[in-house]
């Protein structure tokens, strides 16, 4: 029996009633104790052939994936249920596997710490007696072979001092105190005290009342579109200019875009079947015992969707906005709606193209405009904004905006200009360790069809000689990446390195195979040793490019369950098989990000720093596809 009304499309967002039904089906198996919690309830997306066949007249099967935490041990159940048929399709118990941290358990960990005599003694050694003034941050514990990790789901907990409830706790780390808590059993395993360091003196406030007089000379800047937006929305289907796509949000990956295509003369040409941030890691580079274990996998250990904000007009997004609400599940399996989880709007983006013809006397200018689909996640101290941009010339861009508050450490008073190694001083007696933010985007490419090949493009000086008498010649080489091992690559800006996703079976008007090019930004790879704990666990971050043959169960770059994982899962494991990736249905995985060497200007709250990449047509069209963008005013064209 089904209690849900089937949505209109297989890729429609999961609805509250479907979430409720999925939890009910799981519970009615009789195989779950009452205390079982749901770490994940998300849409099990249809297989590609089923999607391609839609609409085929048959009812849409709506399936839901669940990750269930049955008890306090380190084990999960992965289940897939069919909410349209009311059946359990798969039910797999995975011992020695940890889900992402559960919010409810993190809350109990905080209470357990404050009730523990060792913790209270450590606070008293620092003159702290009011436990309400202690901010308690549970962190993913990583995998370092310490006894507390054995068959437990644990957290390592850090502490900060807040004189007032709205203070910036990260300004005043309670350095030296670290607690290990068994999350499942709500039990403090150990409180470590590495020694007292004075609490830094400054409050690090950034609220208006902390800052003092605000600027008074910013005049209003309003975006108006008197005739409305240029996009249309039908359910989660978005159409804007020649673009079309579907928008969803996954609890772990956050914003996900599906079936991105471009209408070329009445024919929708596919480009990306699915695009998402598959994982990210923030490894810290300070070797002391308070900070050397900090390696947050914010997608897999917390969840970019689970941490997504409800966005506010005029603050997060400006202009004529369409918001998507998203239905998620609580850990008890109860649906709730995160309103305004995804923001969509159009932005003017300067000039699109221009030429002043000095001979003919004409000047043609066109304005660039982009469709912005975005969401923002707050993961502990940091904010990450994920902005997908679609441009009038066929370009796609992902820009990640990093902001929020840096993770800090208190240090002993020192001489002016001094700083502990591997950190920057950001305020008196307050340092911020060097660290990285490395994101992995999974691009299920579909350039004019499923069968694609990736080529690496490098530009080099040609050797001087009879064919190059003035030694000015530029040589561009395109090398097909034919197996997974060949496709483990890093950036090389000095050679203008990029990666072209080619459909060898479709030619443009010039007879060239059509392609899109992944243009990386200036991006690092992982600086930690590949054999270190984080090096093994975040193997995906040791390369900027990976290519795999498509498999629906290869979804997340560090594997499905990175929390406390020993490492090796995800891309390194899959690509060990060295499968063929030539002229087949492939997935391109791109790791990008920033190495954050903190500045004083990043304190107390960080102005946005940017990371990302572009995906641009390269022979996908026969010419500039944006010639038909009309001039916006009589003075922008000789003809107007």
CA contacts within 13 A on the Cβ side of 266: 0
CB of 427 to Cu ion, least distance (A): 16
CB of 407 to Cu ion, least distance (A): 8
CB of 526 to Cu ion, least distance (A): 15
Name which of 500 and 596 has its Cβ closer to Cu ion: 596
Name which of 284 and 387 has its Cβ closer to Cu ion: 284
Residue 326's H or E segment, with its range, is: strand 322-329
Cβ-contact 410, 432 below 8 angstroms: no
Query: Distance (Å, rounded) from C-alpha 419 to C-alpha 600?
Result: 12
Query: Distance (Å, rounded) from C-alpha 323 to C-alpha 280?
Result: 25
In Å, how far are 70, 209, 468 from 556, measured between CA atoms?
23, 43, 47
Dihedral of CA 522/342/78/111: which sign?
A: positive
CB of 16 to Cu ion, least distance (A): 35
CB of 287 to Cu ion, least distance (A): 18
Positions marked catalytic: 298, 382
| Cis preceding-peptide flag for 142 (omega within 30 of 0) | no
Name which of 364 and 609 has its Cβ closer to Cu ion: 609
Query: Distance (Å, rounded) from C-alpha 226 to C-alpha 279?
Result: 40
Q: How many CB atoms lie within 10 A of CB 266?
A: 5
Residue tagged 């890691």 (tokens): 281
Query: Distance (Å, rounded) from C-alpha 523 to C-alpha 510?
Result: 33
Which strands sit side by side in the sheet containing 154-161, from one edge to the other?
Answer: 134-140, 154-161, 177-182, 187-193
Q: Of 451, 439, 45, 401, which Cα lies nearest the Cα of 258? A: 45
CB of 212 to Cu ion, least distance (A): 26
What does the binding site for Cu ion look like in residue numbers (CB under 5 A)?
Answer: 596
Name which of 260 and 538 has its Cβ closer to Cu ion: 538
Q: Of 213, 276, 204, 280, which Cα lies nearest the Cα of 245? A: 276
**Dmax (CA) of the chain:** 85
CB of 109 to Cu ion, least distance (A): 25
CB of 423 to Cu ion, least distance (A): 12
Name which of 116 and 596 has its Cβ closer to Cu ion: 596
> What 3-state DSSP class applies to 602?
helix
Cβ-contact 260, 245 below 8 angstroms: yes
CA contacts within 13 A on the Cβ side of 152: 23
Name which of 281 and 571 has its Cβ closer to Cu ion: 281
CB of 384 to Cu ion, least distance (A): 10
| Cis preceding-peptide flag for 55 (omega within 30 of 0) | yes
Query: Distance (Å, rounded) from C-alpha 2 to C-alpha 84?
Result: 6
CB of 378 to Cu ion, least distance (A): 14
Name which of 400 and 571 has its Cβ closer to Cu ion: 400
Q: Of 289, 291, 607, 540, which Cα lies nearest the Cα of 435? A: 291
Name which of 229 and 605 has its Cβ closer to Cu ion: 605
How many residues are recorded in the chain? 640
Q: How many CB atoms lie within 10 A of CB 476?
A: 11
Name which of 222 and 601 has its Cβ closer to Cu ion: 601
Residue closest to Cu ion, measured at CB = 596
Annotate 103-129 with b (16+ C-beta within 10 A) or e (fewer).
Answer: eebbebbbebbbebeebbebbeebebe
Name which of 48 and 599 has its Cβ closer to Cu ion: 599
Provide the H-helix boundaries in 127-226: 208-211
Query: Distance (Å, rounded) from C-alpha 411 to C-alpha 196?
Result: 10
Residue 592's H or E segment, with its range, is: strand 584-596
């Amino acid at each position: 029996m089904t209690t849900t009304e089937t949505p209109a499309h297989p890729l429609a967002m999961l609805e509250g009633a479907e979430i409720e039904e999925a939890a009910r089906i799981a519970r009615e198996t009789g195989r779950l104790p009452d205390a079982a919690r749901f770490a994940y309830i998300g849409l099990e997306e249809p297989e590609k052939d089923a999607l391609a066949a839609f609409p085929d007249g048959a009812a849409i099967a709506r399936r839901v994936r669940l990750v269930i935490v049955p008890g306090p041990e380190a084990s999960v159940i992965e289940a897939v249920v069919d909410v349209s048929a009311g059946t359990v399709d798969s039910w797999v118990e995975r011992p020695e596997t940890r889900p992402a941290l559960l919010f409810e358990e993190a809350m109990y960990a905080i209470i357990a710490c404050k009730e523990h005599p060792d913790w209270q003694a450590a606070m008293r050694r620092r003159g702290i007696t009011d436990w309400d003034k202690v901010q308690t941050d549970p962190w993913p514990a990583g995998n370092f072979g310490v006894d507390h990790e054995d068959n437990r789901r644990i957290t390592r907990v850090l502490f900060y001092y807040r004189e007032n409830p709205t203070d910036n706790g990260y300004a005043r780390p309670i350095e030296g105190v670290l607690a290990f808590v068994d999350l499942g059993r709500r039990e403090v395993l150990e409180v470590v005290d590495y020694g007292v360091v004075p609490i830094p003196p400054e409050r690090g406030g950034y609220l208006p009342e902390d800052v003092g007089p605000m600027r008074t000379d910013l005049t209003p800047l309003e975006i108006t579109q008197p005739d409305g937006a240029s996009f249309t929305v039908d359910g989660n289907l978005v159409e804007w200019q020649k673009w079309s796509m579907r928008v969803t949000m996954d609890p772990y990956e956050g914003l996900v875009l599906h079936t991105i295509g471009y209408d070329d003369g009445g024919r929708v040409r596919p480009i990306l079947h699915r695009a998402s941030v598959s994982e990210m890691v923030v490894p810290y580079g300070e070797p002391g015992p308070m900070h050397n274990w900090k390696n947050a996998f914010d997608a897999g250990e917390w969840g970019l969707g689970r941490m997504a904000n409800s966005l506010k007009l005029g603050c997060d997004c400006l202009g004529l906005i369409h918001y998507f609400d998203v239905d998620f599940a609580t850990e008890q399996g109860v649906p709730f709606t995160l309103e305004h989880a995804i923001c969509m709007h159009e932005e003017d983006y300067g000039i699109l193209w221009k030429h002043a013809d000095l001979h003919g006397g004409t000047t043609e200018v066109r304005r660039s405009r982009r469709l912005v689909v975005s969401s923002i996640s707050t993961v502990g101290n940091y904010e990450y904004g994920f902005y997908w941009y679609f441009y009038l010339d066929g370009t796609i861009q992902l820009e990640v905006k990093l902001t929020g508050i840096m993770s800090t450490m208190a240090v002993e008073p020192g001489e002016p200009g001094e700083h502990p190694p591997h950190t920057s001083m950001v305020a008196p007696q307050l340092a911020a360790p060097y660290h990285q933010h490395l994101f992995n985007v999974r691009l299920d490419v579909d350039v004019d069809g499923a069968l694609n090949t990736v080529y690496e493009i490098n530009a080099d000086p040609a050797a001087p000689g009879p064919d190059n008498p003035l030694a000015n010649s530029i040589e561009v080489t395109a090398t097909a990446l034919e197996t997974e091992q060949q496709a483990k690559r890093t950036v090389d800006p000095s050679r203008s390195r990029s990666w072209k996703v080619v459909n060898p079976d479709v030619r443009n008007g010039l007879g060239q195979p059509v392609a899109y090019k992944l243009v990386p930004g200036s991006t690092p790879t992982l600086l930690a040793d590949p054999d270190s704990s984080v090096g093994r666990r975040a193997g995906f971050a040791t390369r900027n490019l990976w290519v795999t043959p498509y498999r629906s169960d290869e979804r997340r770059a560090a594997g499905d369950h990175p929390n406390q994982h020993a490492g090796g899962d995800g891309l390194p494991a899959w690509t060990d098989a060295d499968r063929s990736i030539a002229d087949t249905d492939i997935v391109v995985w791109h790791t990008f990000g920033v190495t954050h060497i903190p500045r004083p200007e990043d304190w107390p709250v960080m102005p946005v720093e940017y990371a990302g990449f572009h995906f641009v047509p390269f022979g996908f069209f026969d010419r500039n596809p944006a010639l038909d963008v009309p001039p916006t005013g009589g003075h922008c064209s000789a003809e107007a």
